[in-house]
Amino acid sequence: MISTRKHTHFTSSYHRIRQCGIAFCLWLMFVLFTRPTFGQQPEGAFLVRQAIIGSDKSIDAAVFSPDGQQVATGGRDNTVYLWDWSSGERVWQSRAHDDWVTSLVFSPVGRWLYSGSRDRTVRRINAQTGELDSILGQHEARITSVAASEDGQWVASSDQNGIVYIYDAESSQRTGIIHSEGGQIWQVLFSPDSRYLAIASEDGTVSLYDPDDLSRSGQFTAYEEPVTQIVFAAAGEQIVTGSLSGDISVWDIGDLNQPEAVATSKAHIAPVMALSWLDGNHLLSSSLDGKLIMWRWDRTQLQPIYIYENGYPLLHHASANDKIVLVDTVGKLVLMDAPPAIINQLSPESIIIEQSQSAAPSENASTIEPPSLTIPSIGIASGLTIFPLDGEGRTWDIDPWEHEVGHFYGTSWLGTPGNVVLGAHSEYPDGKQGTFYALENIGLGDEVIIRDGDLTERYIVTYMHSVDYRDVSVVYPTRDYRVTLITCDIPSYVAEQGLYYERLVVVAQKLN
C-alpha cells in the first residue's frame, strides 16, 4: 500500500507539517484543447446549420427557452449568455457567478433563467435583460444540477455532497431539503407532470421523490457505476438513463421500485453528458467521446440513425422541437436543424455520419526530454520523474519536497493498455502550493497530454472523486487506456494530526 508516514522538518518558520502520501494523489484527467478565437465558423451541413465560438473556455450547460427561439449557455468563464437562434447573435451576457456555471434551466413561461454554479449558489436571472434578480440558495458543496417543474411551482438544485434543495418558484424561498443516500448527485429532473423529482446518483441509483412532501416514492439501481443523466419519456411512464461508461437504458417505471429495463444500448465509449427527446420517437444522447447520437425508439429498442462527430468532447446538448444545440470543451456552440421531413427518412440500415469541419488540433511529433505532463485547462506543465518502490516493494518512495509529477513505478506506460498512474503534491510541508494544487479545478472533458520522446498521447477527463487514503484500488491495472492522477485532497487535511485523510483522484481515458 502507499505510505502514510509523516515527514517532519525542524525549521521554526514552518507553521504546520503536512503529510501527503502521494500514492493516492492523481486520478484520471483530461486536459482542454487549444482555444479558438471568438467569431463564427461555417460548418458543412446535413443537420448542422452554424457553429459559433461562444467562449474562450469550456461550455458546460445549454438550454432552450420555452418557445425554442433562444438558447442560454454557461460554463467555465463564470458567465451566462443568451443567444438568438435564428441569427446566432448574442442577446446578452451576465457574469452572474464567481465560479463555473454548471447547470441552467428556464422557468416554464420563460420569465426566469435559473443557474447553478461551483460557487455553490443558485441564482435567478431575468431572461429578458440578463439582470440578476435573486439568489435562491447557498449549498455547502459545488452545485451539479438545477431543475424547474413544468407546473411552475418548484425549483430544485443538487450538489456534490448528495444534497437537494427545493424552492418555491414564486417566492424563491427554500421549502425543503433531501439528503440522498447515493453520494454525489449528477442530475435532478422533474417529471413532465411534476409529480416526481428524479435524482441520478453516484452509486448507480435513480430515486424518485414527491416534491410536495419530499417522501420517496421509489428507487432502483440502474448501473453498478454512476448514473450521469436521466430524462423522462413524454408521458412520464418511462425513464431513460445514461451511465459513466456510456450505456443508455430505457426503464418502464410502472413499478417505481422494480422497473423493467425495456432496452439497453452501448451508446458511447465515455460518460453520457446529456439526454433529450427530439420527439416521441427520437432520442438524442451526447458524450465526452465527442459524439451526438440520434436514436429511433419504437417502444422496444433503440437504434442509431444519425451520428455527429464533433472533434472535441461534448459537455452538453439541448433540443426543442426541430432544433438542437451542442456545447463542448473549446467553447463552441453547434446549432442544428432537425426538421421532421428529414428525420423521419433516416434509417438504422443507413446511418448518416456527419463530421465537424473544425477538427481537434493536430501536433507534429517532436522529441521532448524528459517525459512531460501537460494539463492546459489548469496550467499544469511538468517534467515526469519516477517514483520507485521502497525497499520492501509495498509502497512508493516519494520525497515530500518533490516538485515534479511522478510515474508510479510498475504501473502502465504509453503505448500499452492499462492504468498509467501519476502523482504529485497538492501542498508541500510548509503549506505552500504544490504541483497538483490546481488539480481540484479540473473539469470533465479537459485534456491531459503525456509526452515521452516522439510519442504523444492525449486523454480526456471522464471522472473525478475523492477516496480514503487507504484505498489502493485506484492504482490497480485496467484493460483500457487510461491515466490516473492522484494528489492529497486539501479539504481533508487535519492540522492536529498533520494528515490528509482523502486523496483526490482524476481519471482520464484515451478515446481514440
Question: What confidence tens digit (pLDDT) does each residue in 142-173 have?
Answer: 999 999 999 999 999 999 999 999 999 999 99
> What is the pTM (predicted TM-score) of this model?
0.84
pLDDT at 317 > cutoff 80? yes
Question: Position of cell 484515451?
Answer: 510
d(Cα 53, Cα 304) in Å, to the nearest integer? 28
Residue 393's pLDDT is 54
Sheet with 197-201: strands ordered across: 185-190, 197-201, 205-209, 216-221
pLDDT of 2 strictly over 60: no
486: left (phi over 0), alpha (psi -120 to 50) or beta: beta
**What are the helix (H) ranges across 2-46?**
none
- Rg of the Cα atoms in the chain: 23
- Preceding peptide of 348 cis, ω within 30°: no
Please give the pLDDT value at position 284.
Answer: 97
What is the pLDDT, as a whole number, of residue 394? 62
Residue ranges per structural domain of the chain: 22-28+362-509, 40-54+278-358
In contact, 342 and 354? CB cutoff 8 Å: no
Whether residue 14 is predicted with pLDDT greater than 60 in this model: the reply is no
Give the pLDDT confidence score for residue 9 in this predicted structure: 27
The CA dihedral of 84, 137, 242, 231, to the nearest 10 degrees, is -60
pLDDT over threshold 80, residue 336: yes
pLDDT tens across 240-287, in order?
Answer: 999 999 999 999 998 888 999 999 998 799 999 999 999 999 999 999
| Pairing state between β 247-252 and 154-159 | unpaired
- The mean pLDDT of the chain is 86
User: Cis bond leading into 370, ω under 30°?
Assistant: yes
3-state helix, strand, coil in the chain (%, to 5): 5, 50, 45
Neighbouring residues of 103: CB distance < 8 A, sequence distance ≥ 6:
60, 61, 74, 115, 116, 143, 144, 145, 146, 157
CB atoms within 10 A of CB 399: 13
Write the pLDDT tens digit of every residue in 380-408: 999 999 888 766 656 777 888 889 999 99
User: Looking at residue 498, what is its pLDDT?
Assistant: 81
Alpha carbons 57 and 188: distance in angstroms, whole number: 25
| H or E element that contains 181 | none
b/e code 361-387 from CB counts within 10 Å (16+ = b): eeeeeeeeeebbbbbbbbebebebbeb
- CATH T-level topology, domain 22-28+362-509: Sortase; Chain: A; (2.40.260)
With a cut of 70, say whether residue 324 has pLDDT above it: yes
In whole angstroms, what is the distance from residue 446 CA to residue 506 CA? 11
H-helix or E-strand containing 338?
none
Confidence at residue 36, expressed as pLDDT on a 0 to 100 scale: 30
